[in-house]
């Protein structure tokens, strides 16, 4: 009796969920925010049409978290995760892509044969190229990914993720900019979102008064998940090490005293 050979799934290149939260914050939950929903819409559109989309915004707002969260659910085995050092040269760009595509041997020294094999690999199987930290890529690298995608071939869905001047870099490359199907810009959580989301973010906030949460956000959270993770970790450790302590404004002030003062507001005295 013949049996159908089983296909071994590719190991995912996405990091495990345990690495999602800043410093591996214990007990942190993935929150269903508007930004994650908007990110999902863009990524699913990219996958459906083999298109290019861009997710951008300031650091610490949860862009990479959201993208990983969506891709784990919808393209865990087909995502090719690329993250380059700032100013990576074209040899580094091609070599990492070659290895992430699991192509055999070393990439050819000659650019033409190397690119042809990369293109053939992308055309052979549906892939999602996740290119993070786009702001660190040079003009040649951005143009390379545009030509790799190809107008007619549309060899892969491409998700560009970046902070800082990522959007400006793409705007400075009109050929790439004109081919991006959709954009989403991350913004800090609003006070209303903070008030509704943070109580479920980590258990130390579950019973906190709204005024205390909003005070913390105004002083140092600033609607940034990375800031909130930093504050929460300090408070979590303090409460764990000193069972007699309770969450209070005094304890929060102590945590804020441990944070770089440039990341928090100083109350104006009148």
User: Which residue shows structure tokens 């862009």?
Assistant: 63
Q: Give me the CATH code for the 17-186 domain, please.
A: 3.40.50.300
DSSP 217: I
pLDDT of residue 270: 39
Token digits for 100? 């992430």
DSSP 32: -
Distances (CA, A) of 69 to 64, 97, 123, 256: 8, 22, 25, 30
The Cα diameter of the chain in Å comes to 87
Residues near 193 by beta carbon (within 8 Å), at least 6 away in sequence: 33, 34, 223
Domain ranges of the chain: 17-186, 191-259
Q: Are 183 and 56 in contact (CB under 8 A)?
A: yes
pLDDT of residue 263: 62
pLDDT of residue 268: 44
Q: What is the pTM of this model?
A: 0.89
DSSP-based three-state secondary structure for 159: strand
**How would you write the pLDDT of the chain (270 residues) with one tens digit per residue?**
555 555 567 789 999 988 888 888 888 999 999 999 999 999 999 999 999 999 999 999 999 999 999 999 999 999 999 999 999 999 999 999 999 999 999 999 999 999 999 999 999 999 999 999 999 999 999 999 999 999 888 999 999 999 999 999 999 999 999 999 999 999 999 999 999 999 999 999 999 999 999 999 999 999 999 999 999 999 999 999 999 999 999 999 999 999 886 665 544 443
Helix axes 63-74, 34-49, angle to 10 degrees: 50
* 189-218 CB burial, b ≥16 within 10 A, e <16: beeebbeebbbebbebbeebeeebbbbbbe
């Amino acid at each position: 009796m013949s049996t159908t050979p089983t296909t071994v799934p590719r190991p995912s290149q996405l990091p495990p969920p345990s690495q999602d939260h800043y410093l591996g914050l214990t007990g942190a939950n993935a929150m269903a925010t508007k930004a994650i929903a908007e990110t999902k819409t863009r990524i699913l559109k990219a996958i459906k049409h083999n298109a290019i989309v861009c997710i951008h915004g300031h650091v610490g707002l949860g862009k990479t978290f959201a993208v990983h969260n969506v891709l784990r659910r919808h393209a865990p085995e087909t995502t090719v995760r690329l993250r380059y050092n700032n100013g990576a040269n074209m040899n580094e760009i091609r070599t990492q892509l070659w290895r992430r595509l699991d192509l055999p041997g070393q990439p050819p020294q000659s650019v033409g044969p190397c690119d042809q094999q990369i293109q053939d690999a992308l055309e052979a199987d549906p892939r999602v190229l996740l290119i993070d930290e786009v702001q660190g890529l040079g003009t040649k690298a951005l143009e390379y990914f545009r030509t790799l995608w190809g107008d007619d071939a549309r060899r892969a869905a491409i998700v560009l993720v970046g902070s800082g001047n990522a959007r400006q870099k793409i705007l400075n490359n009109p050929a790439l900019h004109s081919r991006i199907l959709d954009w989403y810009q991350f913004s800090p959580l609003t006070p209303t979102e903070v008030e509704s989301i943070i109580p479920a973010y980590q258990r130390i906030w579950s019973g906190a008064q709204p005024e205390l949460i909003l005070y913390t956000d105004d002083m140092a959270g600033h609607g940034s998940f990375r800031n909130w993770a930093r504050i929460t970790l300090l408070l979590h450790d303090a409460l764990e090490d000193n069972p007699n302590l309770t969450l209070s404004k005094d304890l929060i002030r102590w945590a804020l005293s441990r944070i770089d003062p440039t990341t928090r507001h100083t109350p104006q005295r009148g």
